[in-house]
Structure 1
């Protein structure tokens, strides 16, 4: 049976990288099905994503051989089974539009994820979770119980083998320690077009400034609040007649769409880190 894989890599740019990667796969009877590459002149780094099919070598063998190949180029490489859905845990508070949208897209086969659990500091969405047959974990969070609550969250994430954690309007600031543990695999949706209007109540901030565009930003979670590498953004029009409630209602659709695109691209291994930025092979 043909096995499909996705290879992503980054390394200092030099001539012959695409030729070498193609040759590596050809020598192993690999058939390239999709390929994209990008050179960042600012950093001098080269990025590439390749989807290929290979029947002659196991995933373990390919990984071992790639390690030796990458060493000669100073490459950072990752290999993933293309058809394997990404195990995912979703965190949510009391706003459920992003959660509801992700669950619908997942069950409709539109996202390459496997939602293993939903974790919330409120009980509001236990019935929604049950309707999708997803385990629901209520973990209240207060200043006094934050450490214990995060420890329990991490237990669930590890027990489910989650490769991705989605903060679908989870309105709690994660500790530095948890941010480090989830580095590169936690995506947050911020209801603002970052870097504008960071922190709490961005729609109130936007309304106060009389903005003509409101937006949403999906980004990786880091210890620096709302400053992680950005994956996707979008905007919606606003005008002087809009109330805060109008902006909030209109923003929900934008938030859901932006988060869904970010989750889709991450789960399809289309996002590669480039320092504090990302390269997204759409």
Structure 2
């Protein structure tokens, strides 16, 4: 098996591995189910490998299947990037850029500048935490991510973006809100509304507390900064957020805690082999220009 027949079989395998069923893979590829099945059977028989465990209609990748999937993901991602390059040359940069970000306030200035330069590019933004965003980029489920703190995975390219100071805030009726000056020790035993595990903001805050041997309580975990803000307004505890994301209101006040100087560092990420893909490369370049 070689050439176009091998590529066709690998496409059938890749689609089936990603979707979990031959039916969905066939629909995605525009092929008949028997054709997709035949491609996979031929791969297994010709190379003497087992790609899937059959569990009814559901297929589960074998260890070898998982290893092959890593290669097919890179192969077809490169194919997509090559197609994007050709389309960009023909259409003066048109296409779709899928972004995953920790918050819209961080990435919208870049999008504004990018759209002014490349109005033909459709941009989609999904908000999440740093851990899940990184995994999506690794899995080729997005083009660019905006995350907190450094990513050490060798498959990820990181571009430093900007530092963000963390601020602690409270409802105006909270006992600490009535104090003009606060020490780190005043936080001991206080209840906080925290972001979920995997949040870069949470990690930076907990690291700063650990360095001072401060113990706090978590009243509730929230999956967005908007939810944290609302919970603090409802009196469920203190909150922590990046200063760029803090939204003042009459019911809230920031706390000036002596010695509290925690920061997060935002970074733009993409897969290493995709950083020169036209739409991605121009977005990263635009980000650097926005920073000045």
Common topology (TM > 0.5): no
TM-score range, shorter chain: under 0.3
Q: Which has the larger radius of gyration?
A: 2
Considering fraction of residues, name the structure with more strand: 1
Larger relative contact order (Cα-Cα within 8 Å, sequence gap ≥ 6): 2
Considering fraction of residues, name the structure with more helix: 2
What is the TM-score with the length of structure 2 in the denominator?
A: 0.25
